[in-house]
Structure 1
Amino acid sequence: MPKRAVLLLAHGTPETIEEIPDYLRNVVSGRPLPAQVIEEIKHRYSLIGHSPLTEITLAQGRLVEAELVAEGIDAQVYVGMRNWKPYIPDVVRKMRVDGVTQTAVICLAPQNSRTSVGLYKRAVQAEAGSVKVDFTEAWAQDPLLADAFAERLRTAQTRMIQETGAPVQVLFTAHSVPSRTVEVTAATEGQPKLWPGEGADPYAEEAKRTAELVAERVPEIPKWWFAFQSQGASGGPWIGPTVEETLTAIASEGVTTVLLQPIGFLCDHVEILYDIDIAFKAFAGNLGIRLERPESLNASPTLARAIAGLAKRGLSRLEE
């Protein structure tokens, strides 16, 4: 009998401010970063105290395992991080030691991009050895994912209606990526593909499609917008529009209250707790806009069901 498992992959986060330089070297694959960039990241982490990404992701793994057990599926759930502990290679090696022979792998970045899914997949395959792997390429349009975000958004809208007397406009966001990673260029044509169908990177369209699916489930939204957040400090352009540009446009229409919901993040971490809760709130306030956000998915039972469903389908494909 094959021993089956599920492997969830996430970005990773340092546990202390002192670990940030080493962490950032992992993020940029060892390329040097200016000292002021490192100090700025340290400052952001100091303002939020701690990024809970790792512990929340581990908790999500336990919820997913409980969903699978409830359906009679015997498959331990492991969690691996690309840029910090527990590192993906270490976790895959542990799975081999534990006797795992088949694993359904799910990247907790639902929208498919070479800056996320392709790199995560390559990290797993490099250590898989004899372990048979099913890798979920993307799940941006998963109905339960949209349901999970919509549940959080509907709760926030209810609160805002009670406070303001009417539904408020919504700004959906996803993490920006460097423009060079989502464009087909002469340098990328003919190169080995990281995933089937790679060409024009689908990330931007998949992020917008997730937003559309969430908005469809909350029809009381009077109007919604979409922007890319958290553009990095590396050289070259990043995809937009930015949150700052979009908030400025929203303010020009006389809007005074906005709900911002990131639909590319599945839990609280620095891009939510600092970028949104501190930086974007301050930017919006200077424009005369009150900016609030729904609760992050974190321990959402609907999210756990969504991921468990992906895992079940992946495990089924391994039996074909």
Structure 2
Amino acid sequence: MPDQRDPAPYDALLLLSFGGPEGPDDVVPFLENVTRGRGIPGERLKEVGQHYFLFGGVSPINDQNRALLDALRKDFAEHGLDLPVHWGNRNWAPYLTDTLREMVQDGHRRIAVLATSAYASYSGCRQYRENLADALATLEAEGLELPRVDKLRHYFNHPGFVRPMIEGVLESLADLPEEVRAGARLAFTTHSIPTSAADTSGPAEEHGEGGAYVRQHLEVARLIADAVRDETGIEHPWELVYQSRSGAPHIPWLEPDICDHLEEQHAAGAPAVAMVPIGFVSDHMEVLYDLDTEATAKAAELGLPVRRVSTVGADPRFAAAVRDLVLERAATERGVHAERCALGALGPSHDLCPVGCCPARAPKPAAAGADSPYA
């Protein structure tokens, strides 16, 4: 059917990501961008920057986004989808505003936006929408014609996001020594956020303890654990745990931390643990440092065998999932019924973030939502 390949009304896709330094001289300026307005002293930024300096001052996220861009363009071309793909970051070059300006100057007027965050939360959704609003305000001040930007829905339970992780768990379990494989635990990891931010994530009517952020991660963890059981015949105990906490000690954040969890599992007699970073699209710095460096060192100290499962990255199935998301949203915008792929009980997420969804710490305009000033 022609509609299956019709991206109209969209004339471009924008890959919107976090960004990262690409050399030692970039590290502190990058961290200043990330923490702007929070009053964090320079010495603290240099301390945090040591994570990057361990890897030559280069974050892997930019190369991973380049790989995803290539995968998207390849998938689109192979399936007859004529839609150019551009890339902009929140915190480092190529900056979102610069990319959006170039897209407007190239004549793009209706842009679908894929954020490299699969779940609902302030930092994973609304903050990207605020960044879009800031960029549009800059273009408006420059006298440019503003495009319409539509953020694609959350894709945490899309089969193209979940299936690669299922296979990653199976591969990691198979890589464990045979004598510990059957008893291995699964530790599903995601970014810790303040409990107040978690509790108010998702639409207002769904707010509650942990909000949509925790609920969505628990659903993905269950989907993966159930699939592993069905395909191996072995029930691996699992838990959702957290990493990468960066807040003040007196502010409650989601717990347990992955390193604390490894200690608890070792004390309880667990023979091995597979760490599954379901909260991340790619193997960026927080995965490399918090899991591959810090958590792996803790496991070695304990004598606990661990394996770390890969993120989806530029997996062709994820690229195909993005194509699905673009085409279903395009069909919806044209008033045509579209099948919306989603695994599990939560179903497909909303297209348009409602008022009160993942509220900001301080009110700021946010694009691509029901409260957008740029409808």
How high is the TM-score relative to the length of structure 1?
Answer: 0.88
1:288 has 2:296 as partner: no
Offset at 1:294?
1.9
In 2, the alpha carbon distance for the partners of 1:156 and 1:194 equals: 32
Q: Aligned pair 1:15/2:56, yes or no?
A: no
Counterpart for residue 307 of structure 1: 322
User: Counterpart of 2:261?
Assistant: 246
Cα distance, 1:197–1:17 mapped onto 2, change above 3 Å = farther
Q: 1:285 to 1:181 in 2, by over 3 A?
A: same
**CA distance in structure 2 between the aligned counterparts of 1:162 and 1:102, rounded to whole angstroms:** 53
Q: In structure 1, how many angstroms separate the alpha carbons of the residues matched to 2:280 and 2:333?
A: 28
Alignment partners' CA distance in 1, 2:148 and 2:42: 43
**8 A contact 2:181–2:272 mirrored in 1:** no
Identify the range of structure 1 (137-146 vs 25-34) with the bigger mean alpha-carbon deviation.
Answer: 25-34
Contact 2:176 2:307 in 1 (8 A): no
Query: 2-side partners of 1:151 and 1:170: how far apart?
Result: 14
Distance between the aligned counterparts of 2:14 and 2:122, measured in 1? 19
Give 2:236's aligned residue. Answer: 222
Q: Which residue of 1 aligns with 2:96?
A: 88
How do 1:45-64 and structure 2 match up within 5 A?
Answer: 45-49=52-56, 50-64=58-72
Aligned to 2:128: 120
CA shift in 2, pair 1:56/1:95, >3 Å: same
Once the two structures are overlaid, the 10-residue window that deviates more, 293-302 or 264-273, is: 293-302
| Deviation readout 1:179-222 (Å, 9 max, x if unpaired) | 332335xxxxxxxx997868454212212222112222211352
Tell me, what secondary structure is at the counterpart of 1:259?
strand
How many residue pairs end up in the alignment? Answer: 312
Deviations 1:230-250 (A, max 9, x none): 100446232112112221221
Aligned AA (1:134): D
Residue 237 (str. 1) matches residue 252 (str. 2): yes
- The aligned residue for residue 367 of structure 2 is none
Gaps of 5+ in 2: 1-7, 137-144, 336-375
Structure-2 separation of matches of 1:65 and 1:315: 18
Three-state SS of the structure 2 residue aligned to 1:210 is helix
Residue 158 (structure 1) aligned to one of 150, 156, 174: 174
Identity, % of aligned positions: 28
Letter in 1 for 2:312: L
- Indicate how the Cα distance of structure 1 residues 224 and 183 shifts in structure 2: closer, same or farther if over 3 A, else same: closer
Moved more, 30-39 or 66-75: 30-39
Structure 1 13/176 Cα, relative in aligned 2: closer, same or farther at 3 Å?
same
CA RMSD in angstroms, aligned pairs only: 2.4
Tell me, what secondary structure is at the counterpart of 1:130?
coil
Q: How far 1:289 sits from its partner (Å)? A: 1.1
Q: Which runs of 5+ in 1 are unaligned?
A: 185-192
Q: Which residue of 2 aligns with 1:146?
A: 162
Q: Which residue is 2:348 aligned to?
A: none
- Distance verdict in 2 for CA 1:167–1:250, change over 3 Å: closer
CA contact (8 A) 1:122 1:194 kept: no
TM-score normalized by the length of structure 2: 0.76
1:276 deviation in Å?
0.7
- Counterpart of 1:263 in structure 2 is 278
Match of 2:346 in 1: none
Q: 1:208 to 1:304 in 2, by over 3 A?
A: same
d(CA) in 1 for partners of 2:178 and 2:271?
A: 16
Aligned equivalent of 2:341:
none
Q: Which runs of 4+ in 1 moved over 4 A?
A: 161-165, 193-201
CA deviations 1:81-140 (Å, max 9, x no partner) are: 111111112211111111112221121110110112101122224445532222124122
